[in-house]
Amino acid sequence: MDPSPADALPQLEEKIRRAVELVTQLRRDKEAALQMAADSGPLKAKVEELTREVESLRAERDEVRKRIGKLLEQIDSLHTL
């Protein structure tokens, strides 16, 4: 037995209400995602800048280690004379 049109109307109203709530939530989620994407641009650039700086400092550290190693070798050679 099919529900009468009067019985189906409340069900339809409930489905429409849930659909509206879902669409509203999806729009909020989309806006939040777009905002996060916009905010991540400057952060990504800063991360890249800091990564380059760390690489540069590591290269500089390695160079300093080599120079100190050479100086220590020269000091050691003085002790053997």
Between CA 20 and CA 51 the distance in angstroms is 45
| pTM metric for this prediction | 0.52
Give the pLDDT band of residue 58 (cuts 50, 70, 90).
very high
CA 77 – CA 70 distance, rounded (Å): 11
Within 10 angstroms of residue 81's Cβ, the number of other Cβ atoms is 4
- Work out the angle at residue 60's Cα, subtended by the Cα atoms of residues 79 and 78, and round it to the nearest 5 degrees: 5
| Mean pLDDT, range 4-18, rounded to an integer | 86
The pLDDT-based confidence of 2 (bands split at 50, 70, 90) is: low
Beta strands, E only, 15-67: none
